[in-house]
Each structure stands twice: as structure tokens, then as C-alpha cells.
Amino acid sequence: MDLDASTIESLVDGAVAFSLIAIPKVLLAVLFYFIGRYIINFALKTTNKLFVNYEIEPSLASFLSSFLKGVLYLLLILAVLSTLGVEVTAFIAVLGAAGLAVGLALQGSLANFAGGVLILIFKPFKVGDTIEAQGTLGSVEAIAILYTTVRNFDNKVVTIPNGALANNSITNFSLKPTRRVEMSVGVAYGTDLKKARQVILETLKKDERIHEDPAPVVLFTNFGDNSLDLSVRCWADTSNLWPVFWDNMEAIKEAFEANDIGIPFPQRDVHHFFPNGIPEMKKLPK
């Protein structure tokens, strides 16, 4: 199609007018993008330094840094599009609706995420601690954003949602450096309790893992069906809790035997009553 001079002139004028409007916007958008990217990088570096200074868990710090970076770049892109004259209101509305739908669909996961953030920030336990929670007793192997992995003492791995952990009680057996060792010991009726107490305390004194302060104690706690029950209490480092328990239970047993202190066992006294005299014993046939 042939173009006359007036048409070409009109097209050129339109292109020039568009360029005069568009080029400043494009230049402004490019400038805005690079300035925004510099600010985002500066903000991320500052945030990472704060994470290090406040000793935030590395996995949480990495996740929060990535999340913050994504949010900031999304805001920067929206700002750049707005600078170019693109209507972003509808786009923001679509993002809001999508976010609401995803939030409703992932309520449980969001609760676990929030629980994971709280656990990693407040640190009620850490990897390697022995805890009891949600009916599970074991050692913490990993703390992720959504789940915590616990290995119990028969080597089974249990995965616990962080939402449940953050909203229920947790017993941490490793948080304190010392623990009280408690042993239950029974002696036969008629035993001299002072002698039994002395034998037990002398046995405990031989174990260097047991702390002298607080000092070990032996307390009489109960008249059992077959025994006089004693509670033996002493303190040791948390790492030595079970070795001290097992070794001293065996040592106390051996000390009782060496000192003629009776260790009880279930027994019953049976009394026969024959109102018509003692019956004759019948001989069994050969």
C-alpha cells in the first residue's frame, strides 16, 4: 500500500510523541529498578548480620532471608510496572485472592510453619537434646520449618508437626547440665535401716561421677508388701545419668550381699485350719 507524505508525517509525529512520553518512563523505570535492587541487597545484608548477631538458627535465617528477598523483589517489580504506567491494582487483587485461597488450603502447614519459626527463635530444644513430647521420648535429630524429627531409644524415627510442639508441653532432659539420679531399693523386714543407709552411702561415695554437692541421701519411703522401701537420690552430670543409675544399682546389690542385708522377694504365709482335726494323709498308689 502506497503511503502519501501526509500519512508518513502523521506516523512520524505519532512515534516522536510516543517516544517523548515512553522514553522518560522507561529510563525512570530502569533507574528505579537499579536503585531498588541496591536497597534490597543492602537490606538483605543488614538482615543477615542481625541474624548472626542474635544467633538465629541457620535454617530459619536462610528461609527468612529467601522469603524477605522474594517479597521485596515482588514489590520492586510492581513499583517498576506502575512507573511504566501499567495498572497493577487488578494484579494485586489477584495475588491477594490467590494468597487467601492458598492460606485456607494450607491451614495445617501454616500452623506448622508458625510453630517452626517459634521453636527456632525461642529454642526450647536443639538438635541432640533428649525431649519428651506428643507421647514420644527420644533424641532430636533435625528441626525443619514444618516438622521436627525425633529418634527414640529403640531407633525408630518419629516426625512431629511443629504446630503441635509449639502449642503443647515439652520436657527437655538435656537443657540443664546436671540431673538427679533416683533409685528405688528394697530391704527385707527386720533389716537395720541405719546400717542399710550407711552401706548405700559408702557405695555411692566410691563413684567419682556422683556430685558431693548436693550430697546423696537415702530416705525411707514406704512399708511395702514384702520390703522396706528406700529412695536413693544423688546428683550427676546429665550425660552420666543412666550409667550412674545402672552401675550403682548393681553395686548396691553386691554391697547388700557382702553385708548380709536381705533383699526381699514376694512371699506368703499360708495357715491351714482344720475344724475336725488334722486329716489323714492318703498314700499315693505306686
**100 pLDDT tier (thresholds 50, 70, 90):** low
Digit-coded pLDDT (tens) for 35-66: 888 888 998 898 888 878 877 777 667 777 77
Distance in angstroms (rounded) separating the CA atoms of residues 198 and 258 = 13
- Distance between CA atoms of residues 80 and 68, nearest Å: 18
Q: For residues 196-212, give the mean pLDDT.
A: 95
- Average pLDDT over the chain reads 82
* Distance in angstroms (rounded) separating the CA atoms of residues 203 and 185: 13
The pLDDT assigned to 29 comes to 79
Q: What are phi and psi of 199, to 5 degrees?
A: -60, -45
Q: Is the dihedral of CA 7, 12, 16, 21 positive or negative?
A: positive
State residue 215's pLDDT score: 94
| CA proximity to 216, closest of 227, 204, 198 | 204
pLDDT above 90 covers a percentage of the chain that reads 36
Closest Cα partner for 40 from 82, 72, 74? 72
Choose which CATH entry (2.30.30.60, 1.10.150.110, 3.30.110.30, 1.10.287.40) describes domain 124-172: 2.30.30.60
Grid coordinates of 248: 550403682
Task: Give dist(CA 249, CA 180) in Å, integer.
Answer: 15
- Reduce the DSSP state of residue 156 to 3 states and report it: coil
Instruction: Count other C-beta atoms under 10 Å from residue 24's C-beta.
Output: 10
Going by pLDDT thresholds of 50, 70 and 90, the confidence category of residue 10 is low
Report the pLDDT value the prediction gives residue 9, as an integer from 0 to 100: 59
At residue 271, does pLDDT exceed 80? no
pLDDT band at 159 (very low <50, low <70, confident <90, very high): very high
Cell output for 190: 527386720
Q: Residue 282's pLDDT is what?
A: 59
pLDDT band at 202 (very low <50, low <70, confident <90, very high): very high
Residue 264: is the preceding peptide bond cis (ω within 30°)? Answer: no
In the chain, residues under CATH classification 2.30.30.60 are 124-172
CATH 1.10.287.1260 for domain 11-105, yes or no, is: yes
What are the helix and strand counts (H, E) for the chain? 7, 8
CATH of domain 178-258: 3.30.70.100
pTM here?
0.60
Q: What is the pLDDT of residues 205-233, one digit of tens each?
A: 999 999 999 999 999 999 988 889 999 99
Instruction: Give the mean pLDDT of 177-182.
Output: 94
Phi then psi for residue 176, to 5 deg, are -95, 150
| One-letter identity of residue 175 | L
CA distance 81 to 90: 13
Q: What is the CA radius of gyration of the chain?
A: 38
Domain with CATH 3.30.70.100 in the chain: 178-258
Q: What is the largest CA-CA distance in the chain?
A: 146
